[in-house]
């Protein structure tokens, strides 16, 4: 088998195609979550914190002066730690993890076979029930009689 044939066999396997689809959908989902965090969640959170923008949380390791924004500090050549960007990434991760949890939870509910209730055994015919009662009475009488 040639290398081209082996690659074709590998690429056409269900796992490889599923993985490719997953990567593409994941990339698209990531951009949606980034927009959700940046454009919808962070603005109200910033207002609650007094108008603070997380993306501008940073501190200067090496550089002179103070800078109003992270971009200004980077443009001036200062070495900075942008922990606000890390906070944004952390919020993104938590949201992605939670949404995936909700999606997988629903998928599991749909794919998990529900327990099928087995119907109860039908009651025995009246003759059998009468014979069982007679048997129980006879057992009780023999247990209470002295030998």
Domains and CATH numbers, the chain: 10-142 (1.10.1200.120)
Average pLDDT estimate for 106-122: 78
SS3 of residue 62 by DSSP: strand
List pLDDT tens digits, range 53-72.
677 888 888 877 788 888 88
Q: Which pLDDT score, from 0 to 100, does residue 146 have? A: 66
Exposure string for 4-39, b = 16+ CB within 10 A, e = fewer: eeeeeeeeeeeeeeeeeeeeeeeeeeeeebeebbee
Please state, in angstroms and rounded to a whole number, the distance separating the CA atoms of residues 56 and 90.
15
- The predicted model gives 97-125 an average pLDDT of 80
pLDDT in tens, 34-53: 787 778 877 787 788 777 66
């Amino acid at each position: 088998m040639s290398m081209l044939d082996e690659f074709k066999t590998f690429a056409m396997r269900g796992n490889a195609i599923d993985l490719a689809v997953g990567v593409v959908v994941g990339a698209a989902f990531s951009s949606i979550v980034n927009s959700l965090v940046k454009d919808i969640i962070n603005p109200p959170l910033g207002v609650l914190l007094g108008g603070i923008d997380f993306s501008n949380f940073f501190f200067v390791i090496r550089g002179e002066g103070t800078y109003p924004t992270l971009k200004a500090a980077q443009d001036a050549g200062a070495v900075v730690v942008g922990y606000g960007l890390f906070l944004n990434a952390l919020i993104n991760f938590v949201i992605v993890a939670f949404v995936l949890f909700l999606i997988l939870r629903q998928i599991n509910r749909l794919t998990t076979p529900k327990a099928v209730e087995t119907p109860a055994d039908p009651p025995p015919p009246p003759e059998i029930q009468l014979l069982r009662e007679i048997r129980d009475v006879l057992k009780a009488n023999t247990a209470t009689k002295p030998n």
